[in-house]
Amino acid sequence: MTRHELKEQLQHDAFSDNVSGVISYASSHREKLTRWAIIAGAVLIVAGIVLWYSSYRREQRRDDLQAAFAVYEAPVGTTAVAGKTYPNQDEKNKASLKAFSEVAAKDSGHEEGSIARYYVGVLKAQTGDSKGAEADLRAVASNGGEISALAKIALSQLLSGQNRQSEAQALLREVVNKPTDLVSKAQAQLLLAQSLESTNPAEAKKLLQSLKAPNQSPAVTRALDQVASQNK
């Protein structure tokens, strides 16, 4: 007998012993086992339904969000490209706001709903509804997670435009202290430095100097070059 055959035999014998033990136990505890088997089967069925429904709803939420993005990314004016178009930017903004608002309401409490509400806030800011934009962006910013960092960035820009620099800088510092995959620490520091130029130029300069590193990301390096050219 080879080593491989011996191993298989030992495994087979162990399996046979286990099966014999189970059969013996089952014979003396048949009623209890039957009851527990029914309960376990019901639990597995319910768990399977929950998992299926959760996956189904997740796909539905993604489809909802994708449909809203299709409106947001649709072209303006006459075009040869197939699909929905809008006669002007105002009409497109109205349709986009409606689409994202519906997803935000329908999928509230889920990531897709938060993403949709973020875009609702951005669109409101772009169309002059500063009060509504602030409310939506603050709601998303307080949710935590990846999208909250983007909401804090957008909200800080909105507040800066209203000369509420201290509030804007506080939000940027939160992102600096807790960066995400969507907004890096360096990106948040760069935005903070730009905001500080009018209120604390010494700290702004220190931040900008700290970002000048050989291994800095190309996006941040380009932004630094742009800031430097503007300050000449």
What are the tens digits of pLDDT across the range 122-159?
999 999 999 999 999 999 999 877 889 989 999 999 99
Q: Pick from 218, 140, 148, 136: which is nearest to 178 by CA?
A: 148
Q: Which domain holds residue 132?
A: 56-143
Helix (H, G, I), strand (E, B) or coil at 86: strand
Give the global pTM. 0.71
Give a yes or no: residue 183 inside a domain. Answer: no
Give a yes or no: residue 18 inside a domain. Answer: no
Per-residue pLDDT at 65:
87
Give a yes or no: residue 43 inside a domain. Answer: no
- Asked whether the predicted pLDDT for residue 101 surpasses 50, the reply is yes
Q: Pick from 104, 165, 96, 146: which is nearest to 125 by CA?
A: 96
Per-residue pLDDT at 168:
92
Mean pLDDT of all residues belonging to the chain: 77
Confidence band for 21, pLDDT divided at 50, 70 and 90:
very low
| 3-state SS, one letter per residue, for 3-67 | HHHHHHHHHHHHHHHHHHHHHHHHHHCHHHHHHHHHHHHHHHHHHHHHHHHHHHHHHHHHHHHHH
Find which of 6-20, 32-46, 160-174 is predicted with most confidence, using mean pLDDT: 160-174
Give a yes or no: residue 119 inside a domain. Answer: yes
What are the tens digits of pLDDT across the range 54-65?
666 778 888 888
Phi, psi for 62 (deg, rounded to 5) = -65, -40
Domain total in the chain: 1
Average pLDDT of the segment spanning 11-38: 45
Do residues 158 and 137 make contact, with C-beta atoms less than 8 angstroms apart? yes
Give a yes or no: residue 69 inside a domain. Answer: yes
Give a yes or no: residue 78 inside a domain. Answer: yes
Give a yes or no: residue 74 inside a domain. Answer: yes
Give a yes or no: residue 167 inside a domain. Answer: no
Distance, in Å, from the CA atom of 192 to the CA atom of 204, rounded to the nearest integer, reads: 8
Per-residue pLDDT at 73:
87
Q: What tokens appear for 19 in the block?
A: 């099966």
Per-residue pLDDT at 37:
53
What are the tens digits of pLDDT across the range 155-178?
999 999 999 999 999 999 999 999
Helix (H, G, I), strand (E, B) or coil at 117: helix
Q: Pick from 128, 161, 159: which is nearest to 141 by CA?
A: 159
Per-residue pLDDT at 111:
86
Confidence band for 24, pLDDT divided at 50, 70 and 90:
very low
